[in-house]
Amino acid sequence: MKLRIFGALALIVAGAVFLGCQSPSRSEASELPVAVGETDDQTSPEGVSPTDGGKASEADSDGTEERKSWAGIQPAPEFPAGLEWLNTEQPLTLSELKGKVVILDFWTYGCINCIHNLPWLKKLQQEFPQELVILGIHSAKFIQEGQTENIRNIILRYDLDHPIVNDNQFQVFNMWGARAWPTLVIIDPVGNIVGGMSGEGFYPVFKPVIESLIAEFDSRGMLDRSALNLKREKEGLPETVLSFPGKVLADGQRKRLFISDTSHHRIVIAHMENGSVLDVIGSGREGFSDGHFAGAEFNDPQGLALSGDGNTLYVADTDNHAVRRVDLIAREVATLAGLGSQATSYPPDPGIAPQVALSSPWDLELEGSGLYIAMAGSHQLWRMDLYSGETRALAGSGIEGFSDGPLDQAELAQPSGLSLDRESRRLYFADSEGSTIRWADLGSGTVGTLAGSGKSLFEFGDRDGTGNQALLQHPLGVVVHRGQVYVADTYNSKIKVADPQSREIRTLVGGQTGWRDGADPLFYEPGGIDAYGDRLYVADTNNHSVRVIDLATGSASTLVLKGAKELSLSIGPKSSGESGSETATVRLEPVQLTAGDGLIRLEVRLPVGYKVNDTAPSVFEWEVQGRVAVLPADATRSVVEPSFPLELEVEFLEGSGELALNMFLIYCEAEQDQVCLIERVRFEAPIRVKTGVGVDPPAGLSANAVVFHHQVDLPEL
Instruction: Give me the pLDDT at residue 10, please.
Output: 43
DSSP code of residue 286:
B
Q: What is the mean pLDDT of residues 103-127?
A: 96
Give start and end residues of each alpha helix (H) in 11-111: 26-29, 50-53
Each residue's pLDDT tens digit, 536-579: 999 999 999 999 999 999 999 999 887 655 444 333 322 222 33
Instruction: Give me the pLDDT at residue 47, please.
Output: 33
Instruction: Give me the pLDDT at residue 592, please.
Output: 86
Does residue 167 register a pLDDT over 70? yes
On the 0-12 / 13-18 / 19+ scale of CB atoms within 10 A, 1 is exposed
Stronger pLDDT, 589 or 297, i.e. the higher one: 297
* pLDDT-above-70 percentage for the chain: 85
Q: Please give the Cα distance from 322 to 362 (Å, whole number).
A: 10
Q: Which residues contact 303 (CB under 8 A, 6 or more apart)?
A: 246, 247, 260, 315, 316, 361, 362, 363, 364, 374, 417, 418, 528
**Range 565-601 burial, b when 16+ CB lie within 10 A, else e:** bbbbbbbbeeeeeeebbeeeeeebeebebbbeebbbb
Does residue 50 register a pLDDT over 50? no
Which range among 58-62, 564-568, 586-590, 645-649 shows the weakest confidence by mean pLDDT?
Answer: 58-62
Stronger pLDDT, 276 or 4, i.e. the higher one: 276
Each residue's pLDDT tens digit, 284-323: 999 999 999 989 999 999 999 999 999 999 999 999 999 9
Each residue's pLDDT tens digit, 404-433: 999 999 999 999 999 999 999 999 999 999
Instruction: Give me the pLDDT at residue 699, please.
Output: 56
Does residue 1 register a pLDDT over 70? no
Stronger pLDDT, 267 or 57, i.e. the higher one: 267
Instruction: Give me the pLDDT at residue 166, please.
Output: 97
Rg (CA), the chain: 30
Q: What is the mean pLDDT of residues 238-257?
A: 92
Instruction: Give me the pLDDT at residue 13, please.
Output: 35
Instruction: Give me the pLDDT at residue 552, please.
Output: 94
Does residue 676 register a pLDDT over 90? no
Q: Which residues contact 578 (CB under 8 A, 6 or more apart)?
A: none
Which of 24-28, 164-168, 585-589 has the highest average model confidence (pLDDT)?
Answer: 164-168
DSSP 328-363: TTTTEEEEEEE-SS--SSSSPPPEETTS---S-EEE
Instruction: Give me the pLDDT at residue 589, please.
Output: 86
Q: Please give the Cα distance from 215 to 336 (Å, whole number).
A: 44
Amino acid found at 269: I
Q: Please give the Cα distance from 490 to 500 (Å, whole number).
A: 20
Rounded to whole angstroms, what are the CA distances from 307 to 176, 251, 325, 326?
51, 10, 10, 10
DSSP 477-539: EEEEETTEEEEEEGGGTEEEEE-TTT-EEEEEEE-SBS-B-BSS-BBSS--EEEEETTEEEEE
Does residue 49 register a pLDDT over 80? no
- What pLDDT band is residue 61 in, cutting at 50, 70 and 90? very low
Stronger pLDDT, 703 or 255, i.e. the higher one: 255
Does residue 247 register a pLDDT over 50? yes
DSSP 36-52: -------PPPP---HHH
**What are the chain's domains?**
26-219 (3.40.30.10), 248-565 (2.120.10.30), 574-711 (2.60.40)
Strands 676-690 and 584-587: parallel
Instruction: Give me the pLDDT at residue 288, please.
Output: 97
On the 0-12 / 13-18 / 19+ scale of CB atoms within 10 A, 149 is exposed
**Residue 263 half-sphere exposure, CB side, CA atoms within 13 Å?**
22
What is the rounded end-to-end Cα distance, in angstroms, of the chain? 58
Task: Give pTM, 2 decimals.
Answer: 0.74
Query: What is the helix (H) or strand (E) element at residue 556, kind and residue range?
Result: strand 556-558
Length of the chain: 717
Contact assessment for residue 509 and residue 549, using Cβ atoms and an 8 Å cutoff: yes
Each residue's pLDDT tens digit, 179-236: 899 999 999 999 999 999 999 999 999 999 999 999 999 999 999 999 998 999 998 7
Does residue 701 register a pLDDT over 50? yes
Cis bond before residue 698 (omega within 30° of 0): no
Q: Please give the Cα distance from 244 to 267 (Å, whole number).
A: 12
For the chain, give the mean pLDDT.
Answer: 86
Which range among 76-85, 445-454, 669-678 shows the weakest confidence by mean pLDDT?
Answer: 669-678
Each residue's pLDDT tens digit, 592-627: 888 888 888 899 999 888 888 776 667 788 888 888
Q: Please give the Cα distance from 53 to 49 (Å, whole number).
A: 7
Does residue 523 register a pLDDT over 70? yes
- What pLDDT band is residue 666 in, cutting at 50, 70 and 90? confident
Which range among 19-23, 535-539, 631-635, 655-659 shows the weakest confidence by mean pLDDT?
Answer: 19-23
- What pLDDT band is residue 637 in, cutting at 50, 70 and 90? confident
Instruction: Give me the pLDDT at residue 66, please.
Output: 60
